[in-house]
Chain A
Amino acid sequence: MLMGLGDWPTALAVYCSVAATVFGVIYGTICWNRSDEPAAAEPMSGARRRGGSRRRNRHHR
């Protein structure tokens, strides 16, 4: 377990370095496409969207 190293704290430093890297790799892979932007507004139902669109069109005319 010590891989030939003389004491646990030193071996732990090596293990922790590798573990931190593995964490970085796993985190980066899992969150590869995850953004921190605020979530987009909840989509409205089709009927309401169409209605809204008609109202906007009337307004523009």
Chain B
Amino acid sequence: MNTAWVLFGAATESGMNTLILGALIAIYMIVISYLGFRGFRRTRDKQDYLLAGRSAHPFVMAMSYGAAFISTSALVGFGGIAGQFGMGLMWLVFMNIAIGIVVAFLFFGRRTRRMGAAIGANTFPEFIGKRFDSKGLKIFLALVIFLFMPLYSSVVLIGGARFLQEVMQIDYYWALGVFAAVVAVYVVFGGLKGVMYVDAMMGTVMIVGMVSLLILCYWKLGGVVSAHQALTDMAPLVAERMPQEAALGHRGWTVMPQFNSVWWWTLVSSLMLGVGIGALAQPQLAVRFMTVKSGRELNRAVLIGSVFILLTVGSAYMVGALSNVFFYYTGTGIADHIEGKLAIEAAGGNPDLIIPLFIRQALPPVILYIFSLTLLSAAMSTLSSLFHVTGSAIGHDLVCTLSPGKGDSTLVTRCGVVFGILVSVLLGVVLPPGIIARGTAIFFGVCAAAFLPSYWAALYWRGATRFGVWLSMSVGVGASLVGLLFLHRKESAALGICEALFGRSELISAFPWPYVDPFIYSMPLSIAALIVGSLCSAKLSEHHIRKCFY
């Protein structure tokens, strides 16, 4: 049972005409095609295709950044986790705004834009490669993106296809093909201009959908303070109805978890720090800083981006936690119509169903239409960004670097995008969901530890050297993989390599190590490697440094 099933069930039960929903989605696709075509018409050269001509409007840039940042899992998946564990997750909203927008735009974005223009970089791997005057670094980063990004793309692709399958009542493989084809058309032909135009429209839909959801939720529960108070008063139910979660540190939905408990470590190390800081090193987000003409556009984008994150992610987490009040006092479960359930009980133990189920049970049917488009937008906007960055890594960074001067580079990049999409579709068909989900976690962990220290050094440390960056990336990737394969229980148990080699699910069982996100130790190790490596190796030429920092 998935999100689409719950929404589709609601549509049929409430007497909603699913044809209307299908027609709305069809109109939506036509609008997307038009925006993609607009992008195609305005794409004349490589810079247009890879960086939207370095002249994106601040609204388009900010909405595109936000829409690529926030996927379906951020709204439905993490919203469901908030339904299970409560509003402590609002710290992640703070990190997303403070680090993911303010710090990213002002401290990373400005310099990335200026330096990217000075050295003529068109992609993230090319940026790092040119900054440290190393084709090897560029190829290495492109390879990491090519190897791991399709795993993440396939997760988003499968989610969108399942949704279309249920809503449009078509075969899953047809849904997968249609969904991938629609995104492929505007990414391949429209380039980053097409992607950003479509993202801006989708970001607007996401804001409308999530704000409607939050307002109606508070209205349904009797106002802001009344709703919070009702949820606070439910705290004794945790020990009574969720003894396992209580043992992990859960104390209620409006209080923080028990200090130094399993859930506290998950919230602080994996969600707040891992996800919150890790976003800075995402290549598909970093490349957007180079799409604007000047720092003025980034200043304007800070305003738009911070509002976007608060309204979308903040709404999802609030609604997720507050759904407990609705289900306990007024709501019903999925099938058995038993009153007095907690959200996670009503959703049959699957947190991914909490938000869709709440919408189905609590809100007027028209919200279903809006929320369906919101979910589709979140999936498509993230997917298109991933396709574009994977394709540019294959076409522009790998093929054009290894075979320079052979053919039209924009055409090669377009072929790379098509190849990246085909790989993602193939993975979506072949790999089991469990492996894909773990692969995604590995990609995020590796990205944060491997890219972030070097990215920071590229922007702020003139003394950073090529060897230091190589060492930092190697240590970051190595420490992340060791942590994920042998120490962090969630991944090590699922992948089974530690079990096969050592006969146990993790090497260190003493608390809290199985619950500490690998990011917590791989990041400092990567930073230390960068500093030591740079201090012990030959500096880049003064002429090159002056060119980069002008």
Q: Which residues of A contact B296 (CB under 8 A)?
A: 31-36
Interface size on A, residues (CB 8 A): 27
Contact with B along A1-24 (1 / 0, CB 8 A): 001111101100110111011011
Q: Are A32 and B299 in contact (CB under 8 A)?
A: yes
Interface size on B, residues (CB 8 A): 45
Q: Which chain A residue has the least Cβ–Cβ distance from B313?
A: A17
Q: How far is the CA of A29 from the CA of B302 in the complex (A)?
A: 9
Q: Which chain B residue has the least Cβ–Cβ distance from A14?
A: B90
> Shortest CB–CB separation between residue B272 and chain A, in angstroms?
10
Q: How far is the CA of A28 from the CA of B106 in the complex (A)?
A: 11
Contact with A along B412-453 (1 / 0, CB 8 A): 000000000000000000000000000000000000000000
Q: How far is the CA of A17 from the CA of B87 in the complex (A)?
A: 12
Q: Give the contacting residue for A17; candidates B97, B110, B229, B253; CB below 8 A.
A: B97
Q: Which residues of A contact B80 (CB under 8 A)?
A: none
> Shortest CB–CB separation between residue A14 and chain B, in angstroms?
5
Q: Which residues of A contact B231 (CB under 8 A)?
A: 4
B201 at the interface (CB under 8 A from A): no
Interface of A is mostly: helix
Q: Which residues of A contact B303 (CB under 8 A)?
A: 24-25, 27-29, 32
> Shortest CB–CB separation between residue A32 and chain B, in angstroms?
6
Q: Are B314 and A17 in contact (CB under 8 A)?
A: yes
Q: Most chain-B Cβ atoms within 10 A of its Cβ — which of A18, A24, A25, A34?
A: A24
Q: Give the contacting residue for A27; candidates B88, B227, B299; CB below 8 A.
A: B299
B235 at the interface (CB under 8 A from A): yes
Those of B290-306 within 8 Å (CB) of chain A = 294-296, 298-306
B202 at the interface (CB under 8 A from A): no
With A6-B235, A10-B90 as contacts: A28 and B228 at CB distance below 8 Å: no
Q: Give the contacting residue for B88; candidates A13, A16, A23, A25; CB below 8 A.
A: A13
B456 at the interface (CB under 8 A from A): no
Contact with A along B219-260 (1 / 0, CB 8 A): 000001111111110010000000000000000111110000
Q: Which residues of B contact A34 (CB under 8 A)?
A: 295-296, 299
Q: How far is the CA of A20 from the CA of B307 in the complex (A)?
A: 9
Q: Are A3 and B304 in contact (CB under 8 A)?
A: no
A37 at the interface (CB under 8 A from B): yes
Q: Are A27 and B256 in contact (CB under 8 A)?
A: no
Q: Which residues of B contact A21 (CB under 8 A)?
A: 97, 306-307, 309-310
B114 at the interface (CB under 8 A from A): yes
Q: Are B254 and A24 in contact (CB under 8 A)?
A: no
Q: List 24 A-B contacts (CB under 8 A).
A: A4-B228, A4-B229, A5-B228, A6-B252, A10-B256, A13-B91, A13-B93, A13-B94, A17-B93, A17-B94, A17-B310, A20-B101, A23-B306, A24-B303, A24-B306, A25-B303, A25-B307, A27-B303, A28-B304, A31-B299, A32-B300, A34-B295, A37-B294, A37-B295
Please list the residues of chain A having a beta carbon within 8 angstroms of any beta carbon in chain B.
Answer: 3-7, 9-10, 13-14, 16-18, 20-21, 23-25, 27-29, 31-37
